Structures are given as C-alpha cells and as structure tokens.
Chain A
Amino acid sequence: MRIALGGMALAAVVSLLYFVDVAQRLRTAGSQDEQPGFAEADPPLYEPTDPPRRVRMFFPARSNDLLLRTRDMTIFDSPSPESRARQILEHLLEGAGDPLLFGRLPDGTRINHIFISADGIAYVDFNSALAENHPGGALPEQATVYAIVNSLAYNLPEIERVKILVGGIEKETLAGHTLLILPIEPDLAVSDMGPGEAI
C-alpha cells in the first residue's frame, strides 16, 4: 500500500514537472513567434531565374549645388513592377557609399508598401523616419524627394509619377517645404544629367 501511494506521489510530481516544462516551452515558443526573425518571410523580390538589369540611380548629392548624383546599379528584372520598384528603393536606402560625393536618405527609413496604379502613379508608403529624421532645408528635402521620384520613374516605364506617403498617410510636405499633395513627375534638371540651376 505504501509503495503504491509512494508511486502515485512520484507519478504526480513527474506529471507536474512535465506540465510545467511544457507550459514553459509553450510560452517560450509563443514569445519566439513574436520576434521578427521568426516572422513569415516577405516573398522574394525576384526569382533566381530573373535576369539582371542595369538601372540608373539618383542619389542625393553631398553639395546643394548639385541636388542629385547618378550612379548605375543592378536589379533583377522581376515581372512585378512593384518588386522592381522595391529593389530600386532598397538601393537608394542603402546609399551610394562615398560620403564625399553623396548625401543620404534619412536614417531608419524603410519602405512599408508600394502600389502602382494603372495610370502610372506609384504610391510609395515609407515609415515615419523619412520625415522625422529628415535634417531639413528645402534643398536636401527636394533632393530626397527627387531621388525617390527620379530613380523610380527613370527606370520603370510603368511609373510616370510618384506619390509619397509617410506612415500610411498623405502629408502636405516632408520637412516643411516640398509639396507632396500632388503626384510628382521626375525632374532630371536637378541631377548631374541636367543643369544644376533650373533658371
């Protein structure tokens, strides 16, 4: 009888420990699910079979005299124009490197979403860092906006104009100067492909 009781007590303790362990493991697994590393991965921007393609990127220049400097880079020619647009913008966010020649887009900027309408307007939604971390000044702001607009519209025939959204909403300006209410057409005159001064 004692042995039987002792055995039952042992079984209960083991069961409890097992239960606690399982619960702990479940909790751990749950919290791991919330970590970005375990989130469902974005679909790939291109397939291994997509051919490479040269694109002309427009980066903010370090000097205000010349707002944009161009540099050729490579993307993969995905059939989806949104994927190609995203590859171009990822290049832009990474920057062109050489800090003596190039400025940068605001730190922490990420692309939330891209949608290209049938009438050639690309709606590009950035996170709020694009506006909040912008250093200001009308010329750097113009450079930021046209780096995005020119890089997309110059390389993708599906895009004629670009409407920039910030944090999912329309903003009047990015940093108090450039009008974002209307979709913007590319302007090569502010880059090293055109005259530095428009007038």
Chain B
Amino acid sequence: MVRRRGSGSIRFARAGALAAAFAASFAIGNIAVALRPQAATPPLVVYLEDGPWVPMSAEIDGIRYLGLIDLIRQFGLPYTDATATGVLTVRGPGGILTLEREGPTVTLDGNAIEANLPILYTGGDAGGDAVGRWLVPVEFIPATLGPLAGVPITMFARRIIAGNIETTPLEMAAGRADGVTRVTIRLERSSTVRVERDPDGGRVTLNIDRAPLVPQLEELDYRDDEVRSVAFDDSDGRSRIVIETTPQVASVRLVPGNENRTFVVELVPAAAPLEAVLAAPAPAFPADVIERVTLDAIRVLVLDPGHGGLDSGTRAQGVLEKELTLVLARRLRATIEERLGTSVILTRQVDGPLAAEDRAAIANQSRADLMLSLHVGYSHDPTESGGTVFVMQSPARGPSPPPPGAGFIPWYDAYRSSGVASRLFAETLRDALAQGIPEWPFAVRQAPLAVLASATMPSVMVELGNANNPDDLTRLSGPAFQNRVIDAIVEAIRGARPPGPEGG
C-alpha cells in the first residue's frame, strides 16, 4: 500500500477486491446549511432490513445531501466524531473510514479516496446537532457507505435498497370501456391491497402491504372522465397507489385475482337505469354449497354481456338481447362471488358500445383464468329452442400457431394458446347446462367469433335459447328460469380448473 500526499488530494492505491467498491470518492468543503425533512419531490427513501427510512436532506447547487451521522446510525456503524479536531472516524466490516475537516481528505484504512464528489462540513449548524455536521451526497451510500458496512446497495430511481431485501416489481395500467374506468395493478408477488376513498370522493388510495415496490412507471400518462391521475407513492416508505378522481365516480370496486398478484379497480359512474331491473332478488341457493374455491380453481372470471349500445343484438317482443345479457351477467356475478369466492369482472356494466376486441382486452388485462361471453340466440325456425356453447375456430388455416412461450402472438391468434382448455370448459358447461335444463338441447360448436379470437385465456361463448321463440323468450326473461341457468353456469365454473401450460 502506498500513500502519497500532494496538493490537497491523496491518491487511492489500495489493492484488493474492496477497492473497486470505493471507486467514487469525495472532497470535503465547509459550509453552513440546515437539513430539513424532504419537502422536494420525489423524496428519497432508504429501505433497510429493519424497515424503510426517509432521511432529511438539503439541496445545494442541485445536489441532494444527507446527514452522514444519521446514515451511520441507521447502518449501525460505530463512529467517533471529534469536534475539536474535526475528524470523523467510522468503523465497519469494510474498513475504517476517516473524514478530516481540514484535509480536506477522505481516507479508508488510511488510503485517500480521490475526490470527485463533494462532502460538506457544516460545523454542526445543520439539523441542530451532530447529525447535520457532515453532509454527503446520495451517491455516497452506494459508493462508500455500503461497502464499508458490508451491505449490498441497490438504487431504483429515488429508492435505495440497503441489504438483502426482496423487491417486488409493480406494473400499472388504466383503460376505459363502456363508461367504466379500470386501473389494473400487477405485482410479482402476492400482496394485500386495501382501498381507501377520501370523504370528499376526490381520491382513491390503494394501500399495498408490501415494500419496497419497484414501479415500472412512477405515474401513468392517463386521464379520462373519471380519472385525473394515477401515481405510485412510497414517499413515507409505505406503498400506495393514488388515483385522483373526478366527481363522476359513484363507486369503487376492487377485484383481486391471480393469487392476489393482479388487482383491478373499477371506477363506476353513477348508476345506470338498468340498476332498477337488477334489483331483482338474487337466486336462492342452499347454504351448504357456500365454500371458497381452492387455489387450483378459477380465481378471476370475466363475464361478457353480449352486444351493447347501438348493437342491440337479437330482439323480439320488445326485449333486447343486450339488456337480457346484462341482467344475466350481473346476477351471475353476484352469485358466483357469493358461492365460489371467485372474482368476477364484467366487460360492461351499463348499456354502451364495446368492440369485441376491447372485451378480450379487458379479460387479458385482468389476467383472467376464464372468459365467458353471454348471448341469446336466434333461429329462422321460431319453434327451435336450446342453447349452444361456442369455442373459437380460425376463419383461415393460416400459418402454424406460435410455439408456447413465444414472445409475440398475433392479436387474432391469441385464443390458440388455450384452445384445449377452452374446449374442455365448453364441454363442462354444456354438460352442466344439459343437466340443469334437461328440456333444452345443448351443443358445443366452433365458430370464428370475434370476442374469443384475442383472448389469451380459456374462453367460450354461450347462447341461451332463441329470442324469436316466444316460449324461450318468456322463460329467459323470468327470474326463476334465470336462476336455473345461473345455477348451471356456477356448477360448471366450480368444476373448472385453470389451465396448465399448453402446447397450443
């Protein structure tokens, strides 16, 4: 080891692996400055193994400084701060760090560290005690303090992870369909999310019981009639997503899924006129069938009420398919959630237009285990009745489907990844319907259906009855028959299992 002093700096020449970790070095300057709680955004958060810590800081010439004594204490390192001589000595597994006020030098194990980052000596004015005597820039932590303390340091934007702490990536997305805004959050690990709504209704906060999270984006570039902003916030070390909302939002609904790794927040506007129709009592069911599904069952189901808006679907005697499917879907959702504990997301909650590919997109974004599209049929023969369960059939032979795990799947080929599971569920559903409604024939068919083409999960469409068969229509419009349909579908979902990897 060689130590050579010259014109205020000493060349660092220590050999060994540790040296590389101290590559950045610091010069000391004397200044009078005060540390404050971080008012500037975004605040720096240090995640230690004991928990998060938000240090006070001072901003000087565009550089953010932290109190070194504070840092040393948080890292649990013994130190000596000799005010008379102006020498700070810190000991750690990585060596002995010495800062001399008058040097100005920073040495490690007696070897000077070449200066290219400033360290400030305030003489104790800052922070009211010794905490603010020495100020170091944020980079001091990964460059010097971490190696000194023998603690691995990782920095994610304004987050410093000190120690072997598990981080969890976070993705956020937002979209609007059929008058409902959905904010989807995806966490790589199971978490608990609690929704809070400010009394004035202007803000929805999703508190996440996991930290540190590493967000892909700090804030979504998204605005609509209901949402002003969606941003991640962990400025106090606790993870939350803050959704600033407009007065349009009437209610907020949280739908967990994917083993509590995906959460969909539905921001629903003021009640639609159909709400009155839906006030019909939910179907009765025996108490002994109430049970929570096990983890190998369907956890997130997307129900798609067919048609909507100008597209009324088929119609007869003043009854529109779009209204019938919405009533059925909403009643079905209530029953499934109550009996099975499955999270249910509706692609539309009111009467509005929604493209088929948007329906599939909602299911894909929600990471649903299953999508079920509800329709009412029609036949040129008004005496025909019954129902059909459809699975997707390609409109063209086309090229071979991509192999499983391929990074890119053409949009209209997405269904191929779960074709076998879709067919299995279609048969399960047909059997359940045939058993629950034995007077109706049910068949499984293939068709090139737009709503199924782009779904990345098992997906089927069911058509119930024929609208132009007066008997079918009367039955479908009544709650008693609807209950039988709902019971049969619930039983099919109870018996369904999410798919494993498929060969396409």
Contacts and interface: CB of A to CB of B under 8 A. Distances in A.
Contacts of A187: 393
Contact of B449 (A103, A178, A182): A178
A184 B446 CA distance: 14
Interface stretch (A10-18, A33-41, A59-67): A59-67
A161 B447 CA distance: 16
Interface in A119-148: 135-140, 142
Nearest to B392: A179
Given A138-B449, A178-B450, A179-B412, A199 B444 contact: yes
A139 B463 contact: yes
Interface stretch (A21-29, A45-53, A169-177): A169-177
A182 B396 contact: yes
B143 to A, nearest CB: 56
Interface in B312-357: 313-315, 321, 355-357
B377 A139 contact: yes
B450 A63 contact: no
A78 B380 CA distance: 34
B390 interface: yes
B463 A137 contact: yes
A185 interface: yes
B377 A178 contact: no
A181 B412 contact: yes
B368 interface: no
B311 interface: yes
B321 A136 contact: yes
Given A161-B396, A172-B450, A178-B448, A138 B390 contact: yes
Interface in A148-199: 161, 172-173, 175-185, 187, 197-199
B107 interface: no
- Which of A62, A172, A175, A176: most chain B Cβ within 10 A? A176
A161 B448 CA distance: 14
Contacts of B321: 136
Contact of A185 (B390, B397, B423): B397
A179 B449 contact: yes
A138 B461 contact: yes
Interface residues of B, number: 42
Main secondary structure of the interface of A (DSSP, over half): loop
A137 B423 contact: no
B447 A142 contact: yes
Given A177-B450, A179-B450, A198-B393, A136 B444 contact: no
Given A172-B356, A197-B443, A182 B395 contact: yes
A136 B380 contact: no
Contact of A135 (B396, B443, B444, B468): B468
Interface in B361-383: 375-381
Contacts of A63: 379-381, 384
Nearest to A161: B396
Contacts of B311: 175-176
B208 to A, nearest CB: 37
B412 A182 contact: yes
B448 A184 contact: yes
Contacts of A142: 447-448
B186 to A, nearest CB: 28
A183 B395 contact: yes
A136 B445 contact: no
B447 A178 contact: yes
A180 B357 CA distance: 12
A93 B444 CA distance: 30
B136 interface: no
A135 B376 CA distance: 12
B388 interface: yes
B149 to A, nearest CB: 60
Nearest to B357: A172
B453 interface: yes
A96 B443 CA distance: 27
A136 B375 CA distance: 10
Contacts of A173: 356, 450
Given A62-B381, A185-B396, 16 more contacts: A63-B381, A64-B379, A64-B380, A65-B384, A135-B378, A135-B468, A137-B314, A138-B449, A139-B447, A140-B378, A173-B450, A176-B307, A177-B451, A178-B450, A184-B396, A198-B393
3 cross-chain pairs, A with B, having the tightest CB-CB distances, nearest first: A137-B378, A136-B314, A103-B380
9 contacts: A61-B380, A62-B379, A64-B379, A135-B314, A136-B321, A137-B463, A138-B449, A140-B378, A199-B446
